[in-house]
């Protein structure tokens, strides 16, 4: 089985979560973790599971203006060119069926802050008739720029392992 994890990240928190998910996935699958900036044409060839994530900006996925806001907070952004919002629709262009799961990071406080990039991503995929292999998952950062809330990397590792195990099982039963 082959899994590709792609992420958009401004300050590095979503990248750290993506890498931890990758460690968990690796227990059951070959895995590549990629910054959306580094995606090449063939990156998703023969892939069974795509896990995609990004930071929550203004209640959903990032937009050009929110990325500018992020750049004003920190000059060097981890992902500079390709956003999750722009990239997700390309999954609908693929001929082969692929399982997709989405995740995001968002601020832990204030607790009432609604919305998440993962749920926005899930809606965008549903709109294009792409179902999800798992419910969207949200990981929390302290403040606007992180760090991650303690325990989130472990949770990401566990989720990755669970997801890859379930996908592998499903694949076996589909055969």
| Interface mask toward ligand FMN for 61-90; x: CB under 6 A | -----x--xx--------------------
Under rule CB under 6 A, residue 53 binds ligand FMN: no
Residue 28 CA to its chain's centroid (Å): 19
In the bound state with ligand FMN, the residue whose beta carbon lies nearer, of 28 and 60, is: 60
Out of 3, 5, 6, 11, the only residue in the binding site for ligand FMN (CB under 6 A) is: 11
For the CB of residue 36, give the shortest distance to ligand FMN in the complex, in Å: 11
Residue 33 as a binder of ligand FMN (CB under 6 A): the answer is no
- Looking at the Cβ atoms of 64 and 89, the one nearer to ligand FMN is 64
Pick the stretch among 3-11, 36-44, 91-99, 118-126 that binds ligand FMN (CB under 6 A).
3-11
- The CA distance from 2 to 123, in Å, is 25
Among 58, 64, 128, 131, binds ligand FMN (CB under 6 A): 58
DSSP of the chain:
-EEEEEE--SSSHHHHHHHHHHHHHTTTSEEEEEEGGG--GGGGTT-SEEEEEEE-BTTBS--HHHHHHHHHH-SS-S--S--HHHHGGGGGG-SS--EEEEEEEEE-SSTT----HHHHHHHHHHHTT---SS--EEEEESTTT--BPTTHHHHHHHHHHHHHHHHHHHHHHH-
Q: Which of residues 88-127 bind ligand FMN (CB under 6 A)?
A: 105-107, 113, 115
Give the residues lining the site for ligand FMN (CB under 6 A): 9-14, 55-59, 66, 69-70, 105-107, 113, 115, 141, 144-146
């Amino acid at each position: 089985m082959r899994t590709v994890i792609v992420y958009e990240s401004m300050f590095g928190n979503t990248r750290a979560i993506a890498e931890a998910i990758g460690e968990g996935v690796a227990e059951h699958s070959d895995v590549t973790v990629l910054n959306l900036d580094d995606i090449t044409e063939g990156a998703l060839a023969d892939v069974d599971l795509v896990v995609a994530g990004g930071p929550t900006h203004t209640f959903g996925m990032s937009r050009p203006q929110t990325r500018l806001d992020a750049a004003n907070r920190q000059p060097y952004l981890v992902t500079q060119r390709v956003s999750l919002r722009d990239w997700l629709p390309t999954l609908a262009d693929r001929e082969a069926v692929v399982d997709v799961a989405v995740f995001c990071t968002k601020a832990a406080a204030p607790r009432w802050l609604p919305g998440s990039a993962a749920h926005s991503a899930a809606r965008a995929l549903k709109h294009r008739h792409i179902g999800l292999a798992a419910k969207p998952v949200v990981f929390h950062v302290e403040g606007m720029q992180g760090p991650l809330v303690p325990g989130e990397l472990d949770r990401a590792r566990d989720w990755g392992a669970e997801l890859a195990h379930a996908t592998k099982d499903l694949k076996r039963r589909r055969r």
